[in-house]
Homo-oligomer: A and B are copies of this chain.
Amino acid sequence: MLSVSCGASSLARLKGFEKLTPVDEALRTFFETVKPKRLDPVTVPIHEALGRITAQDIKAEKDLPPFNRSAVDGYSLKAEDTTNASQFHPKTLQLTQKEAILEGEAKTIWTGNPLPNGADAVVMLEHVRRLDHEIKVEAQVTPGENVSKKGEDVQKGQVAVKTGTRLRPQHLGLVAALERTTISVVEKPRIAILATGNELAELGKKPKANQIVDTNRLVLSNMCHELGGETVDLGVARDDESEIGAKIRQGLEKAHLVITTGGTSTGESDLVPLVVSKIGKPGVIVHGVALRPGMPTALAVLDAKPVFVLSGNPVAAMVGFEVFVRPLILSLLGVKDELRPMLKAKLTRRVAGALGRRVFLRVLVSRKGDEFLAEPIRVTGSGMLSSMTRANGYVVIPENREGLEEGEMVLVSLFDNVKVEA
């Protein structure tokens, strides 16, 4: 049942969404309106670049390695001098200290050392018996064996690290090997976050009766930080049109995008989408998504900047972030297809879906011997943060499935570590 409008009363009309937009359609419509552009490049020292996103291809201005070098400790030689060598029929070669190697000669070499002229291979120490001025080679090597060729790691002119790469330690190492001390990375997206609702108390202030502490700003800002964004805290607004409007405008001035939580249902105190559409054009693009949890999410655009009006429920807000905000932030960073780690696991029990809606099922994945098991977390509603802390991943139940079967192999996206069972 996608439509719930029933016409009998103004409350029901106000409350029910005329239509729930399917997730993929909502994403498409929203992105077509926003047309997110990658942010500007900034140059940072390589020591501060971990986790940042490259703003351009990093090309090698030299070969790596810069010369043919030994990949092992052993003896450099001409491969043809080892033809048919074996433990029982070793080949004898003369040790030399000269720069170049002639036929019938070998020279000590350590890992990483340049290959001497005349040599085309290295035999490992383990395959050699050494006498005073000669060696007995007990294994055959082929030309190029145990040699790291000039340019094998990266060739001059080649792209060493592509644009849009999130820099991990190994990327930084490769960039350093190219003798670069700075990297051009994408500016950090700035995200302004506002919580709304008379029922919310600020963390650190004593909540009144029937009030609860706002946790959404803290959770969402940390999700932004994990992605590589900076946040602007807009605090908590009461359910007041002008207060909400002023805060959102403040966010639009300071940040690249704005996230609000709460006030997204169409009920009595649900003002945010209304306020957003009053503030500017085009306003709300999508309101009401076929997503569980996260149904009341609204997607808006103001001053050409995205505004995400997420649910006030902690888990629904996290799911709304995952589905809509995360891809937008990644677009601003110029990152394509950065998916969470995923794996296939066996579902430990049957779970119901919701025909016509995309369901985000929280699961706890554990490894038991050779098998991965995904245990659905039991909860009531989307207010339960513990359903996220007890889970380490989620499974998407697609719109066309009534549920998932016990024993079914499901694709899990991980947001925390896999547990290993004894």
Determine the chain B residues whose CB is within 8 A of the CB of A149 once the complex forms.
Answer: 380
Taking A212-B66, A213-B179 as contacts, is the C-beta distance between A386 and B160 under 8 angstroms? Answer: yes
In chain A, positions 128-184 with a C-beta closer than 8 Å to chain B are 128-132, 144, 146-149, 152-154, 160-161, 166, 168-174, 176-177, 179, 181
Q: Which residues of chain B are within 8 angstroms of A12 by Cβ–Cβ distance?
A: 125, 128-130
Per the 8 Å Cβ criterion, residues 288-340 of A in contact with B are 312-314, 318, 337-339
The answer to whether residues A176 and B215 also contact, given A130-B8, A343-B341 and a CB cut-off of 8 A, is yes
Alpha-carbon distance A222/B386, docked complex (angstroms)? 32
* Cβ–Cβ contact A152 & B384, under 8 A: yes
Interface residues of A in 254-271 (CB under 8 A from B): 265, 267-269
Known: A173-B219, A344-B343, A381-B148. A6 touches B129 (CB 8 A): yes
- Judge whether A15 is part of the interface by a CB distance below 8 angstroms: yes
Cβ contact within 8 Å between A50 and B388: no
**A219 CA to B169 CA in the complex, in Å?**
5
- How many copies of this protein are present in the complex? 2
Q: Does A276 contact B (CB under 8 A)?
A: no
Flag if B417 contacts A338 (CB, 8 Å): yes
Once the chains bind, are B169 and A226 in contact (CB under 8 Å)? yes
A383 at the interface (CB under 8 A from B): yes
Q: A111 and B50 in contact (CB under 8 A), knowing A16-B125, A218-B172, A383-B148?
A: no
On whether A112 and B341 interact (CB within 8 A), knowing A213-B179, A381-B148, the answer reads no
Which residue on B lies nearest to A371, using beta carbons?
Answer: B344
Partner of A339, one of B161, B225, B265, B417: B417
| Chain B binder among A30-38, A67-75, A96-104 | A67-75
In the complex, A207 has a CB within 8 A of chain B: yes
Contacts of A114 in B (CB 8 A): 210
Q: Given A50-B222, A160-B386, answer yes or no on A415-B174 (Cβ-Cβ < 8 Å).
A: no
Q: Does A4 lie at the interface of the complex (its beta carbon under 8 Å from any beta carbon of B)?
A: yes
Is A414 engaged at the interface, CB distance under 8 Å to the other chain? Answer: yes
Q: Are B337 and A420 in contact (CB under 8 A)?
A: yes
Contact: B110 with A269, CB < 8 Å? yes
Please give, as numbers and ranges, the residues of chain B lying within 8 Å of A213 by CB-CB distance: 176-177, 179
Q: Judging by beta carbons under 8 Å apart, are A177 and B50 in contact?
A: no
A130 to chain B, nearest CB (A): 4
**A69-B176 in contact (CB<8A):** no
B108, B166, B342, B419: which contacts A343 (Cβ < 8 A)?
B342
Say whether B265 contacts A168, CB under 8 Å. Answer: no
A194-232 to B contact mask, C-beta < 8 Å, 1/0: 000001000110010010111110111011011000000
| CB-defined A-B contacts under 8 Å, sample of 7 | A6-B129, A11-B130, A46-B218, A169-B218, A169-B220, A171-B389, A176-B218
The 10 closest A-B pairs by CB, nearest first: A71-B381, A341-B341, A343-B343, A170-B388, A169-B222, A173-B219, A173-B215, A9-B130, A4-B126, A176-B215
